[in-house]
Amino acid sequence: MPNSGNARPSALKERLGAERKKALHEFQKSLGLRFKSLELLNQALTHRSHSQDGPEGQANNERLEFLGDSVLGLSVAEYLYIALPNKSEGELARVKSFVVSEDCLSEIAFDLGLDRYLIMGRGEEHSGGRKKKAIMADALEALFGAYFLENDFSKAKKFLQRLLVPEIEKVLSHRHKRDYKTIIQEYVQKNSKSYPHYTLVKKTGPDHDKTFWVSASVCGIDYPEASGKSKKEAEQNAARCAYEAIEAAGGKEATSLKLVEGS
C-alpha cells in the first residue's frame, strides 16, 4: 500500500493503545467494514489540530481528505450519469452539488457517530470542534480516502453509494435541505445572466472560534449580512436571507425563484 500520510512514512506505524484499538474495531463494525490497517483508519479519524499536541510529524487526515474528495465526486457522478439518463448536465450538477456539500456530508458523519471517534487537539476540542460541520465532513471524506486505499474504487464506490444514494433520492423528491446558494445562483443566471456576489463583511471572535459575516448581492440588490462558523456556512446563510427576502416580496421575482427551485 502506498504511503498515504502527510508525515514521515513511519508515522503510520505509531502504536495504538488497547482502548483506541477497541474503539476503532467498534467503529468499523458499526459501518459494516473491515480495515486491514487500524493505523490507517486511525489516521483518517485524526484532525490536524491533534498534530499540534503530539509528536512532530504525526499523521493526520488532511491528505486522505484530499483523496477521498475525488473518490466521492467520481462515485456520485458515475451513479447520477447511469441512474438518471434523461437529466441534463445542469440537473445532474445540481443534485451532485447538494450530495457532496458540507451540510450533507456532516449529517451523514454525525449519523455514523464519527464525531465520537475523532481525535483532535485540546484547543479544537474546547472550542466545540467535535460539533463543527466542516470538520466532520472532512473526516468523512478522509474515511472514504482510507477505504479506497485499502481496497479499490469498486469497493469504495459501493460503500459510498450505500451512504449517498438515500441522499440523492431525497434531492430528487425535494425532501432535502435547501441549498440556497445554488438556488440563488440559478435564479440570477436565469434573470440577469450574471452571478450573485458574496462579500465577507467581518470576522469576529478568537482564532480558534471565529464567526464570519457575509452579505449577498443578488441582481444588483444588497441583502442583510448573515453569520456562520465558516465562510462557506456564512455564504449559505446570506443566500438564505436573500431567498427569503425575494420570496416575501412576492411578484414575478418570487415566482421565478420557485420555478428555479422546482426545476
How does pLDDT run across 48-85, given as a tens digit for each residue? 988 765 555 568 999 999 999 999 999 999 999 999 99
Contact (Cβ atoms closer than 8 angstroms) between residue 242 and residue 216: yes
Is 69 known to be catalytic?
yes
Mean pLDDT over 11-24 rounds to: 78
For residue 123, the model assigns a pLDDT of 85
Contact (Cβ atoms closer than 8 angstroms) between residue 18 and residue 11: no
In whole angstroms, give the CA distance from residue 52 to residue 56. Answer: 8
Which positions ≥6 away from 84 have C-beta within 8 Å?
91, 92, 95
Is 141 known to be catalytic?
yes
For residue 145, the model assigns a pLDDT of 97
DSSP the chain: -----SS-GGGGGPPPPHHHHHHHHHHHHHHT---S-HHHHHHHTB-GGGGGTS-TT---SHHHHHHHHHHHHHHHHHHHHHH-TTS-HHHHHHHHHHHTSHHHHHHHHHHHTGGGT-B--HHHHHTTGGG-HHHHHHHHHHHHHHHHHHS-HHHHHHHHHHHHHHHHHHHHTT-SPP-HHHHHHHHHHHHHSS--EEEEEEEES-GGG-EEEEEEEETTEE---EEESSHHHHHHHHHHHHHHHHHHH-HHHHHHHHHHHH-
Task: Return the amino acid letter for 237.
Answer: N
How does pLDDT run across 108-137, given as a tens digit for each residue? 999 999 999 999 988 888 888 888 889 999
Average predicted confidence (pLDDT) for the chain: 86
**Left, alpha or beta for 120 (phi > 0: left; psi -120 to 50: alpha)?**
beta
CA angle, 46 then 133 then 129, to 5°: 55
**Left, alpha or beta for 87 (phi > 0: left; psi -120 to 50: alpha)?**
beta
Q: Find cell 466521492 and name the residue.
A: 72
Which positions ≥6 away from 135 have C-beta within 8 Å?
47, 118, 120, 124, 129
| 184 vs 140, more confident | 140
In whole angstroms, give the CA distance from residue 199 to residue 174. Answer: 29
Contact (Cβ atoms closer than 8 angstroms) between residue 70 and residue 42: no
Among the listed residues 65, 124, 141, 167, the single catalytic one is 141
Mean pLDDT over 196-214 rounds to: 90
The CA dihedral of 36, 39, 44, 49, to the nearest 10 degrees, is 180
The residues that bridge with 218 in the sheet, in sequence order, are 221
Asked if residue 100 has pLDDT above 60, the reply is: yes
Mean pLDDT over 12-38 rounds to: 87
